[in-house]
């Protein structure tokens, strides 16, 4: 069953802040099948029309039914590819969620950007310190299990 709590999301911010890792964690959390596309290498209009549509068209027999399409470096897609993706998102809104990352969200066309919940991964100094503390605590917890 498709959960309503996961929305199409745009994770943006500087490199190395955990955008892509968060995408993988969400797929695991929802026990979802994930199609990962690298926007700077793989994504062109044909991969939008063929790979993504094919992936979204078929139900998973092993997973929860929720399909997640992850596109890393979304801003590297051409304007035509972004326009094609907009239609695919609308077509599969009931069966798939799209999570995309970008270092430069302003390079994503506004009609596409408006279809995502936008989440900033840029932290101010206080937030960064708090996240580092939580990260270190988690590492200590993992290492102390054995």
If 0-12 CB within 10 Å is exposed, 13-18 middle and 19+ buried, where does residue 44 land?
A: middle
- State pLDDT tens for residues 58-94: 876 666 668 999 999 999 998 999 999 999 999 998 8
- Please give the structure tokens belonging to residue 132: 């580092």
Task: Kindly write down the DSSP assignment for every residue of 4-51, as one continuous string.
Answer: TT---EEEESSTTSSHHHHHHHHHHHTT-EEEEEETTTT-SHHIIIII
- State pLDDT tens for residues 35-61: 999 888 866 777 777 889 999 988 766
Tell me the three state secondary structure of residue 37: strand
> How many residues can be counted in the chain?
146
Q: What is the pTM of this model?
A: 0.81
């Amino acid at each position: 069953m498709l959960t309503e709590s996961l929305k199409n999301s745009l994770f943006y911010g500087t490199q190395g802040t955990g955008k892509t890792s968060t995408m993988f964690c969400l797929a695991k959390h929802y026990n979802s099948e994930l199609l990962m596309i690298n926007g700077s290498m793989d994504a062109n209009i044909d991969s939008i029309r063929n790979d993504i549509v094919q992936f979204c068209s078929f139900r998973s027999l092993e997973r929860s039914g929720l399909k997640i399409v992850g596109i890393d470096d979304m801003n590297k897609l051409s304007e035509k590819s972004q326009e094609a993706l907009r239609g695919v998102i609308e077509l599969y809104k009931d069966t798939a969620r799209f999570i995309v990352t970008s270092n430069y969200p302003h390079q994503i066309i506004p009609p596409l950007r408006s279809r995502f919940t936008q989440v900033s991964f840029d932290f101010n100094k206080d937030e960064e310190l708090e996240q580092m503390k939580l990260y270190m605590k988690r590492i200590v917890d993992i290492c102390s299990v054995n």
